[in-house]
A = this chain, B = another copy of it.
């Protein structure tokens, strides 16, 4: 039994509240257990200088935590005057993951800025961010469709993320909370599409290692969890969910 009474293959309760903030084109509050992240997708009608004139769009992400999202207060990165390595890793991961399921050729010369701001943290903030950001991005494209700014949903597939890991006693578990994460010998974040392909696998064994058979078990757990997460995303999106996949990305074009 885990410290919060879940089975090894149980996700924590997930809720996704759409339109949480009024200004952004897409906005959700995602809660995964006690982890709460505001994911806002903002559409800007231009692309970074290095991409101008190609007729393509861009998606980029930023990630931050409120200072007291955690048990101990953290100094703001704006006060320190620089962004930590951890933050950079996470925001690069979120952006990369989202781009893997969006056909950037079909959104015009626009940038989608995705802001994931953690207001309460209890483990899994980066995977919750990806899961919530996906919904915010689809909502933002929904608004562009409504305004006839684009004419096809440019999102090719569902996208979600979760964590899996090996606890000290050797059990493999799904969706680690903060307590488990701080104890785990192996920690792996997995990003997958709705059709079950991998987008990103980041498995780390700090001061520990893991075998091929452990890897297999962990990926099986992730795959299971993903199906449930996709179901919740679909529910939140309602009608818009049906338009995902309208665009197919040609791998050779990538």
Which residues in A have some Cβ–Cβ distance to B below 8 Å?
21-24, 27, 34, 38, 40, 42, 44, 62, 64, 66-71, 73, 76-85, 87-89, 91-92, 96, 99-100, 104, 113, 115, 117, 119-120, 168, 185, 188, 193, 196-212, 215, 219, 249, 251-252, 254
Shortest CB distance A54–B (Å) = 14
Q: How far is the CA of A80 from the CA of B193 in the complex (A)?
A: 34
Contact A115 B40 (CB under 8 A): no
User: A195 — nearest CB in chain B belongs to which residue?
Assistant: B209
Contact indicator A205/B198 (Cβ below 8 Å) = yes
Residues A83 and B78 in contact, CB atoms below 8 Å apart: yes
**What are 29 A-B pairs at a CB distance below 8 A?**
A21-B66, A21-B69, A21-B119, A21-B120, A23-B69, A27-B68, A38-B119, A42-B67, A66-B115, A66-B117, A68-B115, A83-B85, A84-B88, A85-B88, A85-B89, A96-B206, A99-B207, A100-B207, A193-B209, A196-B211, A196-B212, A197-B209, A197-B210, A198-B205, A198-B212, A200-B203, A200-B204, A201-B201, A202-B202
Chain B residues contacting A66 (CB-CB under 8 Å) are 21, 38, 40, 115, 117
